[in-house]
Amino acid sequence: METDRGDRWHGELLDLDAYLTRIGHTGERAPTLAALRALHRAHVTSLPFENVDAVLGVPVLVDVESVQRKLVRGRRGGYCYEHVVLFAAALERLGFRFTAMSGRVTLGRDKILPATHALLAVTAADDDRRWLCDVGFGGGPLGPVELADGAAEEFDGWRYRLARRQGADGIDQWWLHEYGPDGWVDRHTFTLNPQYAIDFVVGSHFVGTHPRSPFTKRLFVQRFTAGRHDVLDGSLRTTTLPDGTRTERKIHPAELPALLTEEFGIDLDSAALARLQDGLVPG
């Protein structure tokens, strides 16, 4: 019997047909750079980001079977660990080589925060370069960004760039920047230290249960497409366009059911909706 060394992502457990149907991918099923770009874009624009379970105190499981039950077979989304476990299983199944990594979300803040963001560095069979795949942030990018110092990408007006800096400990730190309404902002930093599925279980446990995690305190939902980035942060509804134009307004709890279903593509039962509505401050 083969021993699971912990570096597998259990792509054999993924219903690949169902996953590809869910994200609307009808292209090639091969470990090519073109396929990676298409899969990344389809995943990011089809599956919403949401922390409903963490807010409601429901355990967030990040094994492949649990994640596909929620994100593929259910009309739900998830946070970064769920998205990346699902994407990693698909990539493994299709024959891509990749390394999982953990990042620290910064968003311009000069403060060391816990490494609670999941990412992948992927290599395609027909291309020697490594590509940063960040499918679990909720705000793009639409495609992979070459993992190279100074690499820059623009996807339908959304702009990103990577920088590498050496930390005080001599270890290379990578920074992903995005261009938004206030100019360039560093979004998160990471190292190339490999992470494994069990590491994501530990990270997800903190994000989904710790009282200091922002994801246990308030609802946070995102939907990202080529033309817009929609965010619901508590009761604040924000839409940002690729040119940086931003609109925002407070929503009333009564708006929440239709908003989640119609604009974010998330279906919840009436009990969950009622609990979320009780936690919103009226707009």
Tokens representing residue 49 in the block: 């980001």
CA dist 138 and 230 (Å) reads: 9
Catalytic residue among 43, 83, 134, 188: 134
Catalytic residue among 25, 43, 80, 229: 80
83 is catalytic: no
Residues 6+ away with beta carbon under 8 Å from 78? 47, 49, 50, 60, 67, 70, 71, 86, 136
CA dist 129 and 88 (Å) reads: 18
Rg (CA), the chain: 18
58: closest CA among 66, 48, 46? 66
- For residue 50, the Cα-to-chain-centroid distance in whole angstroms is 9
10 is catalytic: no
CA dist 165 and 187 (Å) reads: 15
Exposed / middle / buried, residue 251 (Cβ in 10 Å: 0-12, 13-18, 19+): middle
E strands, the chain, are 49-50, 97-105, 117-123, 131-133, 145-146, 152-155, 158-166, 172-180, 183-190, 220-224, 229-233, 236-240, 246-250
Catalytic residue among 25, 43, 117, 188: 117
134 is catalytic: yes
10: closest CA among 61, 83, 64? 64
Catalytic residue set: 80, 117, 134
